[in-house]
A and B are shown apart, each in its own frame.
Chain A
Amino acid sequence: MINQAILSMLWNGTLDTLRMVSIATFLATLAGLPVGVLLTTTAPGHILEQPFLHRVCGGIVNLGRSIPFIILMVAIIPFTRLIAGTSIGTTAAIVPLTVAATPFVARLVDGALREVDAGVIEAAESMGATPPQIIYKVMIPEALPGLVLAVTVTAVNLVGYSAMAGSIGGGGLGDLAIRYGYQRFRGDIMLMTVIILVLLVQGIQMLGDAVARKFYHRN
C-alpha cells in the first residue's frame, strides 16, 4: 500500500538523487572541461601541439573510463572519507560520482571541440589570436551546442550511477529501490522509483536539447 510515508520517502529520494546528480555533474564539468581542452589542443597539428602530454593525458582519461563504477566506488572509499568525512550517504556519494564522470566529460569535451572547423581556428590565428583567445573565444563558443549535449549525456549517466551508489548506502532513489523494492519485496516501490528515474532522464535530456538548440546558429 502506498501511503503518505512512502510518498514522502520517494519525494526525498528524488531530491537526493537530483542533488547528487547536479552537484556531481557540475564538479565533473568543472574538472573535465580543462582536461578535454588539453586533450584537443595538445593533439598533433593543433594549437598547442604536445604529442607526449597528449598521449599521457589520453591514457589517464582512458584508464579512468575503463574502471567499472561499482569497483571505483569501493576502491576510493578512503579518498571519499578524506573529502566528505564519511563514505555513506548522499554527500559521500558525490565524490565517486564526480571522479567517475570527470574522464567521461573530458572525452566528450574533446570530441565536441574536435568538431570545430579547423578553418575557423586558422582564421583566428591569421588575425593574431593567441592560444588562450582561440580556446575561449573560438573553440568553446563554437562547440557550445556540443558541449551542452556532452554535459547532458553526463548527467543522464550520473542518474544511472547514482542508483548504483544506492547499493552501498549512497542514498537517493537507488537506495530506496534496493532497500524497499528489492530487499523487502515491494514491487510497487520499485516500479515507482523506476518511473521517477525514467522521468528524470527524459527531463534532463529535454532540457539539454533545448539549451543546445538555443546556442545552435548554423542555419
Chain B
Amino acid sequence: MIEFKNVHKTFEGRASVHALRGVDLSIPSGEIFGIIGQSGAGKSTLVRCINMLERPDSGEVWVDGVLMNSLSPKELSKSRKRIGMVFQHFNLLNSRTVFQNIAFPLELARYPKKDIVERVTVLAELVGLTDKLQGYPGQLSGGQKQRVGIARALATQPRLLLCDEATSALDPDTTISVLRLLKDINERLKLTIIVITHEMQVIQEICDQVAVMENGTVQETGRVVDVFTRPRSRAARSMLQGFWDPKLPSALQSTGNTILRLTFANQKVHQPVIAQLVRTCGVDVNILYGRIDQLKTAPFGILLVELAGSNEQRSQSIAFLQENQVEVEVFNP
C-alpha cells in the first residue's frame, strides 16, 4: 500500500516548475495501478517520490507503513532494494552483458555468486531472454532491452515495481508484448505495479485502477472501467476523447435526429439491448459507429446510434437504456 499525503515538489531553476501541487493518493497492493497524464503533468516526479529519487518539498510518502521521507541514506538504500524500477530509455549499462546487467542489483546487495547465477537464470527465463545472456545491450532490440530492464528490476524480489513510461519508446507490437509480460508478472509474482504513461492503451490493456493527473494534481482516481465509462473530470474526458470517439462526418451531426453515445460495460455487452429498445419504445435506431474492446479482462463496448422518432419516444428510449445500465450521453446537443 502506497500513500501520498499532500505532496508538493517544486524544481528551482531559471523558471521554477511547480511539479506537484498537493497530491493525495493511495495505491492498493497487488494491483496494476496506472497514472496517466499529458507530459508535464507531474507523473514522473510523483513516481520518483516513491523511492525518493526526488525528495518532496513537503508532504508524506508512505510505502507499506514506512514513511519514506524520514529514512536515513542507509535505510533508504535498503528499502530501494524492495522497489524495482523500469525506465522509458531502459537505462542499461552498456559496458555489461545482459547477464551482468540483470546481476547488477544482486551484486550491489552482495548476493553470493552462486545465488546470482541461479537468480539470473530464473529471471532470464521469465522474460524470455535465455539465449541473449552473453550479449551486450547494444546488440538488442528495444523490446529486448526493456525485457532486460524488467528482469533487472525484479532481481532483488521487490514487492513493488515502478514503470516510468516503460513502453513509450517501443513500437506498437513490442508494446503489447511488454505489457503482457507486466500483466503476467503481476499475476504470477503478486507484486504491485505502478505504471506511468501518457497512452490510454496502456491503461486499457493492463491496469486495474487509474489516476488521472493534470498540472501537478490528481484529478480523478477509480477503477479503470468506471473512469473509462463515467469520467468525472475534464482531464479524464479529454484524455479519453481522442482514444474512443470517432470523428463523425459533419453531415451526420446536423441531422434532426438525436445521436447518442452508448457505453456498455461488463455484462451489458452480452445482451441485445438495442433490439429490446426498438421493440419496447418503437423507435428507429440507426447504428453509426461501434467498437468493442477489452479493459484488462472486462469486455467494454461503445455505440454511436441515431434515434428517429417523436421527442417523447426519444426521451423514453434514453430512460429505457439507463434502466438497463447503459451509459448514455447525447452526442449532438
Interface residues of A (CB under 8 A from B): 117, 119-120, 122-130, 133, 137-138, 141-142, 144, 215, 217-219
**A215 to B152, alpha carbons, bound, how many Å?**
22
> Which listed residue (A117, A128, A141, A144) contacts B91, Cβ 8 A?
A117
B135 nearest in chain A by CB position: A217
**A36 to B77, alpha carbons, bound, how many Å?**
26
**A219 to B89, alpha carbons, bound, how many Å?**
16
Question: Which of B78, B89, B93 counts the most A-chain CB atoms under 10 A from its CB?
Answer: B93
> Which listed residue (B73, B92, B109) contacts A120, Cβ 8 A?
B92
Chain B residues positioned under 8 Å from A119 (CB to CB): 87, 89, 91
**A217 to B83, alpha carbons, bound, how many Å?**
28
Question: Which of B104, B137, B138 counts the most A-chain CB atoms under 10 A from its CB?
Answer: B104
- B81-140 contacts to A (CB < 8 Å): 81, 83, 85, 87, 89, 91-96, 104-105, 107-109, 136-139
Question: Which of A122, A127, A128 counts the most B-chain CB atoms under 10 A from its CB?
Answer: A127
For chain B, give the interface size range.
20 to 34
Q: From DSSP, what is the main secondary structure of chain B's interface residues?
A: mixed
Q: Provide the B47-88 mask, 1 if CB < 8 A to any CB of A, else 0.
A: 000010100000000000000000001001111110101010
Chain B residues positioned under 8 Å from A129 (CB to CB): 77, 108
A126 touches B51 (CB 8 A): yes
A128 touches B94 (CB 8 A): no
Interface residues of B (CB under 8 A from A): 51, 53, 73, 76-81, 83, 85, 87, 89, 91-96, 104-105, 107-109, 136-139, 152, 156, 162
**A124 to B80, alpha carbons, bound, how many Å?**
10
Q: From DSSP, what is the main secondary structure of chain A's interface residues?
A: helix
Chain A residues positioned under 8 Å from B152 (CB to CB): 127
**A-B contact list, 24 entries, CB within 8 Å:** A119-B91, A120-B91, A120-B92, A123-B92, A124-B104, A126-B51, A126-B80, A127-B80, A127-B104, A127-B105, A128-B78, A128-B79, A128-B105, A129-B108, A130-B73, A133-B108, A137-B107, A137-B108, A142-B93, A142-B95, A144-B95, A215-B95, A217-B136, A217-B137
Chain B residues positioned under 8 Å from A141 (CB to CB): 93, 95-96
> Which listed residue (A120, A122, A215, A218) contacts B53, Cβ 8 A?
A122
Per CB-CB distance, the 4 closest pairs between chain A and chain B, nearest first, are: A128-B80, A123-B91, A128-B77, A126-B85
B108 touches A128 (CB 8 A): yes
**A215 to B95, alpha carbons, bound, how many Å?**
7
Known: A119-B87, A217-B138. A125 touches B93 (CB 8 A): no
Minimum distance in angstroms from A214 CB to a CB of chain B: 11
Question: Which of A120, A128, A141, A217 counts the most B-chain CB atoms under 10 A from its CB?
Answer: A128
A123 touches B87 (CB 8 A): yes
Known: A141-B93, A142-B95. A127 touches B156 (CB 8 A): yes
Chain B residues positioned under 8 Å from A219 (CB to CB): 138-139
